């Protein structure tokens, strides 16, 4: 299993990065991205700190993807910050999308979908078909999330992704131990968004290395 969107104490999560990895290893995860919230003030330092945890993750049998979630950054600055994160060694860049429950700046979804250094647009809210088509072209995946509030638009995201042939991923956006998903819970997120069993299986079987271009 994979989860491409989790948080540790490096931002607003409750767990040390290694504790988060260990708990996910016990649940059966083999690929985990820690994507703490960043802006221009902490992108490089967050990536550098997470890189130090890779050895511990490897010992626990987990491929740790050191990442960031670019959060509430002005849309015009997203591409530059995503490039900065990748240059600093980030394996994955997530952008905090236009969730219906936070005052994310309009245009954030478009900026993320247009950027080839962005890998996942998290909880993109009422994303437009134009933005989804742009994401399909640039290889940005749209997220279905179990996170309360953010998940209100999962059905819309799933429908738009289906109609635009955009890649979907299913993530927890975990901040605490009780947020972590077992396999059944991940399936329920997909099925609850209106996807078929076959579509959910395909999403959960995504080759992450291939998706990220490793």
Q: What is the pLDDT of residue 6?
A: 98
| Distance, first Cα to last Cα, the chain | 18
Q: What is the pLDDT of residue 146?
A: 98
Exposed (0-12), middle (13-18) or buried (19+): which is 61, by Cβ within 10 Å? Answer: exposed
Q: What is the pLDDT of residue 44?
A: 98
Question: What domains can you pick out in the chain, each with its CATH number?
Answer: 2-212 (3.20.20.140)
Exposed (0-12), middle (13-18) or buried (19+): which is 82, by Cβ within 10 Å? Answer: buried
The 10s digit of each residue's pLDDT in 152-198 is 999 999 999 999 999 999 999 999 999 999 999 999 999 999 999 99
* CA dist list (Å): 185 to 114, 149, 189: 31, 17, 6
The 10s digit of each residue's pLDDT in 80-129 is 999 999 999 999 999 999 999 999 999 999 999 999 999 999 999 999 99
What whole-number distance in Å separates Cα of residue 196 and Cα of residue 81? 36
String of DSSP letters for the chain = -EEEEE--TTTT-SS-HHHHHHHHHHHT-SEEEEEEEE-TTTHHHHHHHHHTTHHHHHHTT-EEEEEEEE-S--HHHHHHHHHHHHHTT-SEEEEE---TTS-PPTTHHHHHHT-TT--EEES--S--HHHHHHHHHHTPEEEEE-STTGGGGHHHHHHHHHHHT--EEEE--B-SGGG---HHHHHHHHHHTT--HHHHHHHHT--HHHHHT-
Q: What is the pLDDT of residue 18?
A: 98
The 10s digit of each residue's pLDDT in 158-171 is 999 999 999 999 99
């Amino acid at each position: 299993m994979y989860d491409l969107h989790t948080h540790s104490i490096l931002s607003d999560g409750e767990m040390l990065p290694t504790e988060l990895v260990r708990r996910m290893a016990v649940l059966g995860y083999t690929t985990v991205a820690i994507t703490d919230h960043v802006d221009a003030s902490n992108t490089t330092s967050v990536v550098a700190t997470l890189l130090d945890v890779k050895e511990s993750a490897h010992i626990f049998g987990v491929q740790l993807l050191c990442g960031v979630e670019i959060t509430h950054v002005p849309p015009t600055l997203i591409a530059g910050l995503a490039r900065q994160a990748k240059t600093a060694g980030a394996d994955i860049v997530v952008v905090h999308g236009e969730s219906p429950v936070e005052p994310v700046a309009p245009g954030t979804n478009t900026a993320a979908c247009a950027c080839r250094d962005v890998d996942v647009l998290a909880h993109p809210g009422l994303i437009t078909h134009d933005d989804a088509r742009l994401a399909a072209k640039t290889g940005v995946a749209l997220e279905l999330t179990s996170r309360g509030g953010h998940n209100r638009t999962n059905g819309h995201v799933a429908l738009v992704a289906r109609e635009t042939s955009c890649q979907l991923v299913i993530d927890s956006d975990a901040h605490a131990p009780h947020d972590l998903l077992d396999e059944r819970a991940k399936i329920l997120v997909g099925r609850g968004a209106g996807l078929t069993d076959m579509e959910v299986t395909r999403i959960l079987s995504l080759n992450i290395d291939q998706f990220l271009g490793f």
